[in-house]
Amino acid sequence: MKDQVDAARANGIRAACVNSAVSLEERKEAARAYGKGELDLLYVAPERLSVPGFLDKLRKCPGGQPAFFAIDEAHCLSEWGHDFRPDYLFLGELKKEFPGVPMAAFTATATHQVAADIEKRLQLAEAVKVRASFDRTNLYYEVRAKKDWERQMVEFIKAREGECGIIYRTSRKSVEATAAMLVRNGIDAKPYHAGMENEDRSATQEAFLRDNCKVIVATVAFGMGIDKPDVRFVIHGDLPKNIEGYYQETGRAGRDGEPSHCLLLYSAGDGFKIRRFIDEITDEVERKRSLGLLKAMENFGSLPQCRRKGLLGYFGEKLAEENCGGCDFCDGNFEMKDATRDAQMLLSAIARSGERFGAVHVCDIVCGANTQRIREMGHDQLKTYGAGKDRPKAFWRSLMDNLMSEGVLAVPPGDFAIPGLTARAWEIMKGKADFERHQDKRAEPEKAGRTRAVVEEDFDYDRGLFEHLRALRKRIADEKSVPPFVVASDRTLRQMTALMPDSRETFLKVHGVGQEKFEKFGPDFLEGMTAYLEENPEVRAKKLNDLPTAATSAPVVKRPLSETYYTTFDLVKKGLSPAEIAEKRGVGLSTVENHIAKLLEEGEAIDPRDFVSEAEEERVRGLIAKLGAEALKPIFEAGQGKITYGQIRIVIGMMVAG
């Protein structure tokens, strides 16, 4: 509303708004201006409109009533819309209270069923319907398997440096974690969700609108009414609950008509999580409706097809072209592969379990899952039990969706969609027919563990420059009172020597150098390298433009810490000692001390003086300077019982954090 009021005023339209975000003084001024006939447009939130007595206030104007009602986001009126809101139902009273006032309803995401529901609830008898195309030709739609989502997001955003984008996550917790992860990886990102203070949310929104923040990580509430024209990408980090919501959220990209990218990271597991919430809905009609909406969304994410055709078809619009030219499917990222043997495994599991179980249970059988239900039903004794354990469950669920969409499996309507075998299914099982499916040719990165593999580097570099940089590293480390490894590893120095970066941009290509490390140490290295090359100009001939593939493997993504670290962090904030935390959590003291050291290293707000005194820190730093920090035992032994392993770890964490 604020954006639209600002835009209206900029165009000479007298406008104001009344909602829960504006102050009492602003609401009073809006009421005064409305009553005096000094407004052309008054924006009102539905929850304000339904307050007792508000309709009477609308009559207190020179005309005795408004001249026109415009209902925006009207799909919220419909129980079949994607964001049904009870407050919107009160809008149905307007026609009765103001029978002669014209009314129009607007929405960008109405199916024919939703449109009919809006007409009925607003009592718009014989309404004129204007239905524009749902085809946003400037948007590119892409769906990728969600594997290592942190790396996928970081690489996607860094490939679009300087562009504005929105990332949608389903929970406040995941919003906060994602924003923090992006910031750690040098991306200008801020969180936005309903749990934040109003002032913080407003400041974040304003920063995004003014290009002071490039990326917003938000729950789906963000963007309603946001009229920022140059959003160049929208990422869905989790599966939306329905296509209407997905379409509206992707529609916040490219409002200026310029090419923009919409990426959905799809995981069948997201659908399972949403189903658990739907199963708790007590109203049978609402539960069936929600399941139907979710299933349509799952089909969109899991079935390889023209993404644009799938979206338009959902809203009752047909795409004339065979190739839309604006999605990952039509760009040739999929190829037909024989999947007969895999299909036979799934179909056999359905047959052997009596065609009485849902898709999740059947996939569990094929994967060899050790669930209580499988044991109770004796399905761990079936011949097909564990036959497909070499593939992830998501693969089998995707294949199940393919079999259903191709009509190989028949799925009757209802809460419990039990796939049944058709005549074609029996032919495939008996080897009398083949089954092919589209397979994604793109290789998604599997999530790497926290251990770092040794990287073999095969490139030449000047030993003189390398030794010069090692000496420079030692000088910087001494000045900063940190161990040399904190400044730069030998691997970083070797790559620096080979690439000879001469700017911030080229420096960031070096392994182990991020935004923060460059700010701390980069200028010193640039100055030192420039001085050496001026004295030894022949060394420039050895400069490499790029490193071999093995040396330029995907950069390490700084990932958010796991939940166990933040459980310890919460207890630290409550004032508990490491020993008390260890006892309360049932873990070892060294584990808690490791957590504290890592939290300090990550820059969390922990006072190290709660664990290490100044004298103890000074003693540990002195021993590290003398003995190095590669192994803790020599430091501990040299401390002669005056320092603990935990204190050593915590001091190292402080030193890494800078």
Token pair 């092919």 is found at: 436
Domain boundary among 508, 542, 576: 542
Determine the angle formed by the axes of helices 284-302 and 393-405, rounding to 10 degrees.
100
- Distance between CA 42 and CA 18 in Å, rounded? 8
Backbone angles phi, psi at 500, to 5 degrees: 50, 60
Determine the angle formed by the axes of helices 307-314 and 243-250, rounding to 10 degrees.
120
Locate 435 and state its tokens. 């089954």
Residues 6+ apart with CB under 8 A from 414: 288
162 and 248 both lie in a single domain: yes
Domain boundary among 71, 86, 121: 121
Instruction: Grade residue 548 by pLDDT with cuts at 50, 70 and 90.
Output: low
Tens digits of per-residue pLDDT, 341-377? 999 999 999 999 999 998 889 999 999 998 899 999 9
Determine the angle formed by the axes of helices 563-573 and 578-585, rounding to 10 degrees.
130
Distance, CA of 639 to chain centre: 46
83 and 148 both lie in a single domain: no
Is there a domain that residue 456 lies in?
A: no
Residues 6+ apart with CB under 8 A from 556: 452, 511, 512
Domain holding 65: CATH number? Answer: 3.40.50.300
Is there a domain that residue 126 lies in?
A: no
Pick from 510, 536, 532: nearest CA to 521: 510
Is there a domain that residue 574 lies in?
A: yes
Evaluate if residue 446 carries a pLDDT over 70. no
Instruction: Grade residue 453 by pLDDT with cuts at 50, 70 and 90.
Output: very low
Is there a domain that residue 134 lies in?
A: no
34 and 16 in contact (C-beta within 8 Å)?
A: yes
Whole-number Cα distances in Å, 107 to 81, 225, 445, 523, 534: 10, 11, 38, 53, 65
Per-position b or e across 32-59, b if 16+ CB within 10 A of its CB = ebbeeeebeebbbebebbbeeeebeebe
Domain holding 360: CATH number? Answer: 1.10.10.10
Pick from 207, 248, 252, 263: nearest CA to 230: 252
- Distance between CA 469 and CA 477 in Å, rounded? 12
435 and 533 both lie in a single domain: no
Backbone angles phi, psi at 343, to 5 degrees: -65, -40
Please state the length of the chain.
658
- Distance between CA 351 and CA 404 in Å, rounded? 15
Q: What is the average pLDDT value for the chain, to the nearest integer?
A: 86
Is there a domain that residue 324 lies in?
A: no
Evaluate if residue 79 carries a pLDDT over 80. no
Q: Where are the beta strands (DSSP E) in 100-249?
A: 103-105, 139-145, 164-168, 189-192, 215-218, 231-236
Domain holding 621: CATH number? Answer: 1.10.10.1390
353 and 362 in contact (C-beta within 8 Å)?
A: yes
94 and 169 both lie in a single domain: no
- Distance between CA 561 and CA 32 in Å, rounded? 53
282 and 188 both lie in a single domain: yes
- pLDDT the model gives residue 387: 93
What SS3 class is residue 421? strand
396 and 388 in contact (C-beta within 8 Å)?
A: yes
Mean pLDDT across 207-220: 91
Mean pLDDT across 269-279: 84
Domain holding 477: CATH number? Answer: 1.10.150.80
- pLDDT the model gives residue 628: 72
Tell me the residue range of the domain where 653 lies: 563-657
Distance, CA of 513 to chain centre: 25
Domain boundary among 258, 282, 314: 314
Burial of 196 (0-12, 13-18, 19+ CB in 10 A): middle
Lowest-confidence segment of 14-28, 66-80, 457-471 by average pLDDT:
457-471
356 and 288 both lie in a single domain: no
Instruction: Grade residue 454 by pLDDT with cuts at 50, 70 and 90.
Output: very low
Is there a domain that residue 114 lies in?
A: yes
Is there a domain that residue 344 lies in?
A: yes
151 and 199 both lie in a single domain: yes
163 and 307 both lie in a single domain: yes
Q: Structurally, how many domains does the chain consist of?
A: 5
257 and 266 in contact (C-beta within 8 Å)?
A: no
Is there a domain that residue 162 lies in?
A: yes
Tell me which amino acid residue 52 is.
P
What SS3 class is residue 369? coil
CA atoms within 13 A on the CB side of 352: 21
Locate 159 and state its tokens. 């490939």
Backbone angles phi, psi at 16, to 5 degrees: -155, 165
- pLDDT the model gives residue 458: 52
191 and 304 both lie in a single domain: yes
Evaluate if residue 455 carries a pLDDT over 70. no
166 and 220 both lie in a single domain: yes
Strand partners, 109: none
Tens digits of per-residue pLDDT, 7-52? 889 999 999 999 888 889 999 999 999 999 999 999 999 888 888 9
65 and 59 in contact (C-beta within 8 Å)?
A: yes
305 and 338 both lie in a single domain: no
158 and 286 both lie in a single domain: yes
Mean pLDDT across 189-207: 88
| DSSP state string for 216-252 | EEE-TTTTTT---TTEEEEEESS--SSHHHHHHHHTT
Q: Give the global pTM.
A: 0.66
Tens digits of per-residue pLDDT, 558-609? 776 777 888 898 898 888 988 999 999 998 888 888 888 888 877 677 888 8
Q: What H or E segment, with its residue span, contains residue 262?
A: strand 260-266
Helices (H) and strands (E) in the chain, counts: 30, 14
Mean pLDDT across 229-242: 95
- pLDDT the model gives residue 231: 95
Which 8-state DSSP code applies to residue 210?
T
Tell me which amino acid residue 9 is.
R
